[in-house]
Structure 1
Amino acid sequence: MDRINVGGYETVTADRKELSAWITGQCLERRTAAAPPAMVFSSNGQGIALRGRNPDFDRAMRAADVVHADGMSVVMASRLLAPQAIRERSATTDLFHDVARDAVAHGLNFYVLGGTEDQNRRAVHAMLALYPDLRIVGRRNGYFGRDEDAEVCRSIVAAGTDVLWVGLGKPLQETWSHANRGRLHGVGCIKTCGGLYSYLTGDAARAPLWMQRTGLEWLFRLAQEPNRLMRRYLVTNTVSAWRLLTQTGSRGT
C-alpha cells in the first residue's frame, strides 16, 4: 500500500475496504508461516500529540506494519499538504465492520482483549448479535499485570486467533502489542482498537455524520464529557494541529 507522511507518521493512503482486504490476506498467509503477527495501528490527534513523549510508544509506532488514518484531521492534512491524499478516513469503529464481514467470509477467528470484564463481555455479545457467524475464539478484560503477559499471549495463540483486537487505550495498547509481538507467533494480525468496545456496547455515542466528516468529532465528545476532556483536548489539539501543519509531506520518523 502507498504511504505518505502525515504529522510525522508514515500513513497508508488506503480506504477501509483495502485495509480490511490487507488484514484478511495477512491472516490467511500467517496460518502457514512461522511469522509474528502484522501490527495495524491508527493515527489520530491524540497519537500525533503523544509522539516524542514516550519512547516505547514511538518505537511501537515505527514498528507497525500499517498506520492508518483514524482521525479526520489526518485525512484533511494529507489533502492539503501531502503529495498524495489519503482516500478515506478509516475510523476503527467503522473499520471493525469491514474486517468482521471479511472474517465471516474467510472463516477468520477473533480474540477480544481489553476493557473491563463487563464491557468486554457485552462487546462480544454485540459483535455476535451483528454478525452471528463470526468466530470469536476467546476474550479477556484488560486488567492484568505485566507479569501475566506471557500467560495471556499463550491463551491467545492456543485459541487459534487470526485477528487480535487490543483495546487498552493509547499508548498502552501500542506498547503492549509491540512488546508482546514475539510471543504471538501464529496470530495473523494485531489491531489496536481504542474505544471500539464502548461504541459497540452503546456506552459511548458516535458524533453525527457531518461532524465526523468535518473533523469535529472531538467537539461532540467534549460536549459529552467536558470535565474529563477539556484539558486533554486543549493540549492535544494544539500540539497535533501544529505537527500536522509542520510535519506533513516531509519524511516521517
Structure 2
Amino acid sequence: MKRSIISISVNEGTREEYVSRINEDISAGIRGYCCFSNVHMLIEAYDDPAFAEVVNSARYAFPDGFPVARSFKILHGVRQERIAGMDFFPHFLGVSDARKYKVALIGSTPEILQQAKEKIADEFPGVTLTHLISPPFGQPWDNSTYIEQLNSSGTQVVFVALGCPKQEKWMYDHSSQIQAMLFGIGGALPTYVGAVGRAPAFMRNNGLEWLYRLIKEPRRMFRRYLYTNTKFLWLLLRESVK
C-alpha cells in the first residue's frame, strides 16, 4: 500500500514485508525498480512534475529519510519505520546470498566497485556478481550494451548507484528492458566499503543524519539543506493543516 506524502506516493509497511514481496517478484520474473525516498527526492519531485512521475511509477518507493517516515504519522495517523537505502543494500545482499541471486552493480568509480566486489565475495559468497559497471562521467552511455550484458547473464538484482535524480530517471527509462529488479541506492557503495563515513547510530535513529553530513560537507550540503529542509517543513505543515 502506498500513501501520499506531499508530492510522491510512498510505501507503507515493514522492510521484512517488502523483502518478502520482492523475493516473490523475482521468483515470478516481474520487472521493476525501487526508490528510497528522502526529503531531497520529495522536493525534487515537488519542483518537477516529470520527476514525480518517475518516482510514482516505481514498483516500490520506500521511506528512506526519517522525516519522510515520520510524515506518515502526521498526515495519515500511522506509524512507519524508516527503510533506508544505506541499510537495505547490505541487508538485501544477505538475502541474495541465501537465495543465490545473480547481482550487478552500476555506478560509482572502478576503484569503489572493485572494493565492493572483494567485500561482497568475503561476506556473501553465495552472491554471484555478474557485472560491475562504472559508466563514463559526462559522456553518453552505451545503454544497449549494458542492458544486453545484464539480460544475457541472467542477472536478477541490479543496484544502481548514480545519485538522485539521475539513477531514478535511468531506472524509469530502462527498467522495462531489463529482466531484473532494480534498486536506486545513491551513495551506499562508498559507505559500504568504508570510503565514506556514516553518522553514528544515535544520530541516524533520531533523524540527525542530515546534521552529520552537514558537519562533514558544509559547503556542499548547506544550500541543499537550507532549501530542501525548509521547503519540506513548510509543505508538511500546509498538508497537515489541510
TM-score normalised according to structure 1 size: 0.88
Report if the CA contact (8 A) 2:75-2:239 is conserved: no
User: Equivalents in 1 of 2:230, 2:57: separation in Å?
Assistant: 26
Report if the CA contact (8 A) 1:4-1:84 is conserved: no
Aligned-pair identity in percent equals 25
3-state SS of the aligned residue for 1:183?
coil
Determine which of 215, 223, 236 is the counterpart of 2:228. Answer: 236
User: Equivalents in 1 of 2:56, 2:240: separation in Å?
Assistant: 16
Tell whether 2:9 aligns with 1:10. Answer: yes
| Aligned-CA RMSD value | 1.9
Shift of 1:7: 2.9
State the one-letter code of the partner of 2:111.
D
Report if the CA contact (8 A) 1:112-1:120 is conserved: yes
Determine which of 50, 64, 70 is the counterpart of 1:70. Answer: 64
Tell whether 2:108 aligns with 1:115. Answer: yes
State the one-letter code of the partner of 2:44.
L
Shift of 1:101: 1.9
Tell whether 2:88 aligns with 1:104. Answer: no
User: Equivalents in 2 of 1:198, 1:240: separation in Å?
Assistant: 27
Determine which of 169, 173, 177 is the counterpart of 1:179. Answer: 173
Question: Which piece of structure 1 moves more, 199-208 or 218-227?
Answer: 199-208
State the one-letter code of the partner of 1:65.
R
User: Equivalents in 2 of 1:247, 1:120: separation in Å?
Assistant: 41
Shift of 1:45: 0.8
Structure 2 counterpart of 1:45: 39
Change in CA separation of 1:93 and 1:63 when aligned onto 2, cut-off 3 Å = same
Shift of 1:128: 2.2
Structure 1 counterpart of 2:129: 136
Report if the CA contact (8 A) 2:37-2:61 is conserved: yes
Deviations 1:118-174 (A, max 9, x none): 112212222222212222111101326445111111111112111111000000000
Structure 2 counterpart of 1:200: 192
Structure 2 counterpart of 1:213: 205
State the one-letter code of the partner of 1:205.
G
Structure 1: gaps spanning 5 or more residues: none
State the one-letter code of the partner of 1:84.
V
Deviations 1:48-104 (A, max 9, x none): 110133344222112111110110111111123313222x11111111233122212
Report if the CA contact (8 A) 1:7-1:244 is conserved: yes
User: Equivalents in 2 of 1:156, 1:164: separation in Å?
Assistant: 9
Structure 2 counterpart of 1:27: 26
Tell whether 2:215 aligns with 1:223. Answer: yes
Change in CA separation of 1:199 and 1:147 when aligned onto 2, cut-off 3 Å = closer
Q: Name the count of aligned residue pairs.
A: 241
User: Equivalents in 2 of 1:176, 1:66: separation in Å?
Assistant: 16
Report if the CA contact (8 A) 1:17-1:98 is conserved: no
Deviations 1:190-239 (A, max 9, x none): 11000010111112111111211111100001111111111111111112
Tell whether 2:153 aligns with 1:159. Answer: yes
User: Equivalents in 2 of 1:249, 1:127: separation in Å?
Assistant: 47
Structure with more contact order per residue of length (Cα contacts < 8 Å, sep ≥ 6): 1
State the one-letter code of the partner of 1:181.
S
Tell whether 2:66 aligns with 1:92. Answer: no
